[in-house]
Structures are given as C-alpha cells and as structure tokens.
Structure 1
C-alpha cells in the first residue's frame, strides 16, 4: 500500500518533548549549574561577564526568571492536566514553549549585542504563551484554588516587565521587579507547598502505619499561610514602604511556621522524598521571617533573599521536580541516594550564603564560593540521577503512585 504525502504520519519529536516535566526539569537543572558556575567565575575574578545588565542584576534575574521559570513551566504543564482532566499538551507545544524559554535566556546572555527592546520581547514571551495554555486547560474545570495561579503567574510576568522597563531606560523599577519576582515564586511555594507537603506526608505515613497520626491543618492558618505571602509579593512589587512590607513578610513567615509545625515533618526523616518538601518549606519560613526583619532594620536583606532564593525556591523545586520525574515515569517514589544527598546540600548552601552576608569581610568570599559549590553539586547529582528518566520511555510496568 502506497501512502500519499497528505496521509503520512507527522514525525514525532524527541522523547524529551513528550511531557513538560522532561524538558523543563532537565532545563532547570542544567541552568542551575551553568548560571551559578558563570556567577562564581565572576565573583572569584576568573572571568568578566559581557552582559548588558550588571553582573549582580544578571545573576538575580536569571535565577528568578530563568531557573525558577523553567521549574514553573514543567510543573504547570504537568499538574494542570491532572487537576482538570484536560489532554496533556502536545510535544510540539512543549517544544514551542521550551524554545521560548531558551530564547529568553539567550537574549539576556547576549543583551550587550542586542537592542534592549528585543531582549525584553524575547524574554517576556514565554510566560504569556504558557499562561494562555493554562487558562484553556483550567477552564475545563474552573476552580478558584487553581485559577489563582494565573493571577500569580501574571504577577511574575509583571515583575519581569518592570526589570526590562528599567533596562530599556524607561523607569527605575529593577529592584521592585527582582524582589517582586522572587517573592511571587515564594508565594507560589506557600500555596503549592501548603497543598502537597501535608498531603504527601499523610500518604507516606499511612502507607507505613494505617493508624499513624497524620498532619493537621487548621483553616485560619491555611488562609493566613496563603494570603500573607501573596500580599508580601504584591507589596514588594508595588514598592510599598519597607516597614509595612517587612511587617507583613514577618507575619507571613510566622503563619508558614505554624502551618509547618502541624505537618509531622519529624516523622518523615526516613523518607527523603517526603522530608525534602518539609525542608524546602522550612526555608520559606526562615526566608520570610529574615526578609521581614531585614526590612525592619534587624538583619541582612541580601542574606534573607538568598534563604528564599537558594533554600526555599531551590529546595522546594528540587524536591518537586525529582518527585514528579520519578512518579510520572512510572517508578516507585523513592529518591536515589544521590538525590537524597542533594536535598540536604541545598539548605546547607542557603545557610552558608546567609552567613556570608551576615558576616562580611574575609568570610564573605569563602562563604559565597562554598554556597555556590554546594548548589552546583546538588544539581549535578540531580541531573546524573534523573537524566535516564527524562530521556527514556516510561516503563511498561511500574508504580507511579
């Protein structure tokens, strides 16, 4: 039988684009290593960075709007179909949004050779395309608790817009945009971490002992634990007075800590893939508290921002990306030993980077270098362990529970 050109099957793309979690969780890991390696070369004086933004601005921007946005892309392309029953995005759509994310990274890296407006257009394209697809899927089963992520994604994009408006020369909003982006991702962690951490902990504890005490959630704390981090992000983005923003951020940290206290984290210490979620959320607690105190003049703001960026965002994304990759590939939900080690390295990196800011001087350079080295090691271990999962088909038989 002869097949005509019109009836020929469409060639499939590589398996990496079959699922959003494959390409984006790989990209997040690769960029986590590459961006910090380049940053350390500059901080040690081994290289000059040719970027149009200053090195510090480039570093902050790429960790929030580069690394974290890749993790968000993989998560939403995977989770939203599960929430709504919508068909998963096609491999061509996954490849499209992955290409937009990469175009943004290349544009910022070569910003010195490109018009600032072109850099902005390329870097700002990814989130609207991702968000439009999310809206289409979420409207199949519209629920307020899920639709709120469109609002948060809009805040995230607006934060990036403020950065680019500054880089173009139209405003002086770089600091607002950077902090708004970081605090918006932190708010997403407060929302998502507040859902998955107690739920996955409950499942793990009951598997081991059907009569085990389970995590406790109290509605007033749940409301405060979501509303206050979002309000903190809004205030940061708006450039509100430091005392107001600091007080709200500290209150958000206290609410997050009270939530975490009821989730029975100590009972999960033998199960790394679960306690990593608790560790990431604990870093959110410390980061919000530290940043709030910093704005009130009581601690180092740079140190606090790194607790949020390295500890909360780095730790929680590592925990979620590894868990989703293992589970959606049909494998038992057990973290490989190297990934379990990576879970422990991230909080150490965050605390070391905080210490480098809290005690400047001779310790600053060593602490910054040590924190960066721990971060790179953690994500190298993550990449080595999960690379075969991202690049091979799902096993015929497996357990994705």
Structure 2
C-alpha cells in the first residue's frame, strides 16, 4: 500500500504537476517505460524468494533514484526555488524506503521497520499536501462562480518546511524509544519529557497550519460540487488526523486510529477524489461525478469513520473488516465507471 499503490499514484500527480509548473515533458518514451518497469518488478520484493526478492527490492529503490534523477534538473533551478522541497521530500522517501526494506530483512534492526514505513507514509502525505495546496484552490476557482481566497505566504512556508522538523523528531523518538522510553529514571526524565513535548508541538502545529489553510479555502462553497468537495474531505481528514496524532504523542488517543485518519482518510480520500477527477478531465470528458461515483465518495468517508472511531469502542475486528470491504468496493466502483473511459480515445481526438 505504501511503496506500491500510494507511491505510484503520488508519482502520477507529482510528474503531472511538475510538467505543468515547468512547461516541459519529463515522463515519456524510455523514461516512462523504465520507471514503470522498475516499479512493477519491485512489487515482488515482499515475497520470500531469496535472491530474486533482493533483486526486486533493488529495482524498486532504482525507481526512486530515477524519480530524483528526473526531478533535479527541473526543480533545482532558480525559477523553481519554491518547489525544491519536493526533491528533498522524495530523497527522504527513498532513504526511508531503503531503510525499511533492510530492516524488514534483518540487515538492520528489524524492530525499526515500522518506524521507517511510517516515515515513508508521512512523506507521501506531505507531498499530497504540497500538490493539494496548488490544485484544490485552482479547481475551486474553475467551478465555483466568484470564488476567491487569500493566500498566506508565511503559512505556506510553514506547511512546506515543518515536515522536515517532524521527520527529525520522529527519528529521535524512533531511535530512543526502545531504550529511553521504556527505562525512564531521574537521569533521562527531562530528555523524555522534552522529546514528547516537542513531538506534540510539531504535530499540533501541523494541525493548526493545515486547518488555517483548509478554512482559508472556504470549503463550504464546494457543497454543490461532489467532485470538488471530496478533495476537501480528504484535506479535512488530514487536519483531524494531525489533531489526533498530536494527542497520541501524549498518550491521549490511539496512535493507530490517528495514523489511519491520515492514511485511509487523508491519503485515501484525496487520491480517490483526484483519480475520479483527472480520469474525466484528462480524457476530455465533462468533469462531473456520476451518481455512482458520488455514492462511492460517501461510503469511502464512512469507511474512514469506521476505521478511525470503531476501535475507540473496542470494535477492532469490525473496524478492519468493514472498512477494508468498503475500500475494496469503492475501487471496484472506480473500475466499473472509469475503465472504459481510460481505454477509449478522447471525444475531441486530442492525445490524453
């Protein structure tokens, strides 16, 4: 889900956005072929196949290195200074991906596997927030008559750079946790409290900054446009997820529910909203969600509520099974609605 599904979708968003920002074509011909090939062959790395699994993992990492190679010439230039953090985020994603794979194979300490997987998830989330910060208000301006919003430069800078502070403290927490946090005494008490408070403040800052941004976009104006409000719902789950995550840092909320608010809610809902939109827009169709797609939007958000809140009532089994079943159903609806569209020529005859 992290290095296969989410990575592929986010790369699609990312390269589309970068090509628009730089007015250039990056993915075509051999570049596209080898990136797809390395990613596809990398999917076998999770199976216990001995050397072939290591080879598969190497190809998966190669796809990450290829992404960085393709992005650097486009974004590490003076005119793209505001987009440079994207390269830094993806470089960290590559490192966390590599470390998670080595930890899972006991080359490194296996108990750190989940730390690196979670950090990889957060990189994907922060990349989505960067892309969402550009496209959501743009889409709103296109479809909502008289729409306007006030961009807050300092807020945007905070949202862009706070994640790097977040990564730093998550790494500190992750490397100290097995020893310091389980053996608290007078000599390390101040260190433990300091790390916990810092982690809480950073997570809470992410909640505050993203919530201000979310409200500045006037999401209530999207209620008549399902294909737009679904993106706002994804962002809403991110804001709520960071609130829950900050509380989880202090032990006041289950960490699993907080993470799934950010993943199933933030990443999942936003991805679903984007793929239903771009599948219409990039194939020359009218950008209007069908009734079946709107139904999928509602049940997808219900799946998030089930996964986040049912465990709070002790219903872990139902949370896993019901939310997972609904997730599968929503993507079956997507296949039913969009397969023909994606495999058919554009009505206007243009390339898609």
What is the Cα deviation at residue 298 of structure 1? 0.8
Q: 1:107·1:114 contact (CA, 8 Å) conserved in 2? A: no
- Counterpart for residue 170 of structure 2: 236
Which among 183, 197, 206 is matched to residue 136 of structure 2?
A: 197
Q: Give the secondary structure class of the aligned counterpart of 2:344.
A: coil
Residue 259 (structure 1) aligned with residue 213 (structure 2): yes
Residue 126 (structure 1) aligned with residue 63 (structure 2): yes
* d(CA) in 2 for partners of 1:189, 1:157: 16
What is the Cα deviation at residue 213 of structure 1? 4.9
Residue 89 (structure 1) aligned with residue 27 (structure 2): yes
Q: Label 1:94 to 1:389 Cα distance change in 2 as closer, same or farther (>3 A).
A: farther
Q: 1:356·1:365 contact (CA, 8 Å) conserved in 2? A: no
What is the Cα deviation at residue 127 of structure 1? 1.3
Question: After superposition, what is the alpha-carbon deviation per residue over 1:251-277, rounded to whole angstroms, capped at 9, x for unaligned?
Answer: 101211111112111111111111111
- What is the aligned length? 330
RMSD between superposed Cα atoms in Å: 2.4
Unpaired runs of 5+ residues, structure 2, are: 175-194
1:344-355 matches, within 5 Å, as 344-355=298-309
* d(CA) in 2 for partners of 1:95, 1:344: 36
What is the Cα deviation at residue 129 of structure 1? 1.2
- Counterpart for residue 230 of structure 2: 276
Q: 1:225·1:259 contact (CA, 8 Å) conserved in 2? A: no
What is the Cα deviation at residue 299 of structure 1? 0.2
Q: Label 1:348 to 1:387 Cα distance change in 2 as closer, same or farther (>3 A).
A: same
Which among 19, 42, 49 is matched to residue 104 of structure 1?
A: 42
Q: Label 1:169 to 1:329 Cα distance change in 2 as closer, same or farther (>3 A).
A: same
- Counterpart for residue 320 of structure 2: 368
Unpaired runs of 5+ residues, structure 1, are: 1-62, 207-211
Q: Label 1:134 to 1:336 Cα distance change in 2 as closer, same or farther (>3 A).
A: farther
* d(CA) in 2 for partners of 1:320, 1:141: 30
Q: 1:163·1:177 contact (CA, 8 Å) conserved in 2? A: yes
What is the Cα deviation at residue 335 of structure 1? 2.1
Q: Give the secondary structure class of the aligned counterpart of 1:125.
A: helix
Q: Give the secondary structure class of the aligned counterpart of 1:178.
A: helix
Which among 153, 157, 161 is matched to residue 90 of structure 2?
A: 153
What is the Cα deviation at residue 119 of structure 1? 4.5
So what's the TM-score if we normalise by structure 2? Answer: 0.86
* d(CA) in 2 for partners of 1:220, 1:147: 17
- Counterpart for residue 251 of structure 2: 297
Which among 171, 174, 185 is matched to residue 108 of structure 2?
A: 171
Q: Label 1:134 to 1:366 Cα distance change in 2 as closer, same or farther (>3 A).
A: same
Q: 1:186·1:229 contact (CA, 8 Å) conserved in 2? A: no
Q: Label 1:227 to 1:136 Cα distance change in 2 as closer, same or farther (>3 A).
A: closer
Question: After superposition, what is the alpha-carbon deviation per residue over 1:300-337, rounded to whole angstroms, capped at 9, x for unaligned?
Answer: 00111111110001111112222222211122222232
